[in-house]
Amino acid sequence: MATSHLFVCIILCTYYVAHGGDEHGGFATVLTSRSFQPEAAVCSTSRGGLLRCSRARANYITSQGTVTTLAADDGANVTIPAHLGGSVESLEYVVTVGLGTPAVPQVLLMDTGSDLSWVQCAPCNSTACYPQKDPLFDPSNSSTYAPIAGGGSQCAFAIEYGDGSHTRGVYSKETLTLGPGVTVRDFHFGCADDQDGSNGRYDGLLGLGGAPESLMSQISSARFLALGGAPPAGANTSGGFVFTPIRVEVATFCMVNLTGISVGGKQLDIPPAVFSKSKGMIIDSGTVITELPHTAYAALRSAFRGAMSAYPLILPPPNQGLGTCYNLTSFSNVTVPTVALTFDGGATMELDVPDGILLEGCLAFQESGPDDLFPGILGNVNQRTFEVLYDVSHGKVGFRAGAC
């Protein structure tokens, strides 16, 4: 029996990088950019509205407890590059894939915190589905679409999100095209015809969690899947990565153990019990602002404010979860202290300065709850310019700086 290896590499960049490939080797590419999360589906499109949605998503995720391992089978290598910005003009990431035969472009939310992928399908009237920029996917125009049977009839699916919104429809299978010559046959997904919430910035969701219905569990285990940029040169686990073990507890999420934080090169005096009480940190592409246990956040905020004492603090925008904000408009040069996160095994992420630390002049961290019992979440601001490599078969995740 062949040894199973699945590597998933997510690179959150500010530009598009393309790499050619074929169906049986090499790499294929798909353009990605930012969008927002489904767990807070009824959101305004303003920056503040999206941050409030991100906080609602984070609250939902932490309420679910703990986290993940990814699953897989056998096949070719796939690369899906991502970049920030683009037409969606928001704070998370979307990917453009092809669905059906012939392939129809679909702009999907890229979500490591969800499992089942779905798109809005025709026929669906305006009261049952949200208006989207692209035409609805019409399964009647595809030669490879088929509903999945269950109990002698079509199998239905329903997803209920943390804010009370939902996605419902027919559980189906179809050909998914990830890039030129790279397809996933009989890809299982939801063909949705009943939506409550969301908006037209994306056509559906690409589930990158670890449960059996996710893309990760449906593609082959001998593959390399890179989301956001070029794969490591030469091999799946090429040099430059620092690795930390994945906590194998709940399939959907990927959780690791945070063990320390430094500011300006100085390790913060945070008791180890603070991190052990919180039961780990979830790595999530759909949450914007990183969340830390109460005591860890307080220590980080105090040290960061001390290092930034030369700059005037201002009141943070209301209801966005941001607690440390500065007016930097009158300064031609701003010195931002380094911030580094250390995980089990000594893997350290030294965050990009300033874009991986500040979001519009505000420290991109908040507390996960009123005490140290709530798990942390590594948000996508901190992950910018990092390759994040999920080595599924070996149960570890790696970070490599300078990806973009």
Q: Is 284 a catalytic residue?
A: yes
Burial of 152 (0-12, 13-18, 19+ CB in 10 A): exposed
SS3 307: helix
Tokens of 42: 């009824």
Tokens of 101: 């035969």
For residue 279, the tally of other CB atoms under 10 A from its CB is 21
**Choice among 111, 115, 163, 391 that is catalytic:** 111
For residue 391, indicate whether it is catalytic: no
Backbone angles phi, psi at 246, to 5 degrees: -90, 135
CA dihedral of residues 246, 247, 248, 253 (deg, nearest 10): -80
Residues pairing with 104 in the sheet? 99
CA neighbor of 171 nearest in space, from 192, 190, 185, 195: 190
> In 3-state terms, what secondary structure has residue 243?
strand
Question: Residue holding tokens 């593959």?
Answer: 223
The tally of CA atoms less than 13 A away on the side-chain side of residue 383 is 31
Question: Among all chains, which residue has been given the structure tokens 């990814």?
Answer: 70
Measure the CA–CA gap between 150 and 194, rounded to whole angstroms: 19
Q: Annotated catalytic residue: which of 115, 284, 352, 372?
A: 284
Q: What are the residue numbers of the active site?
A: 111, 284
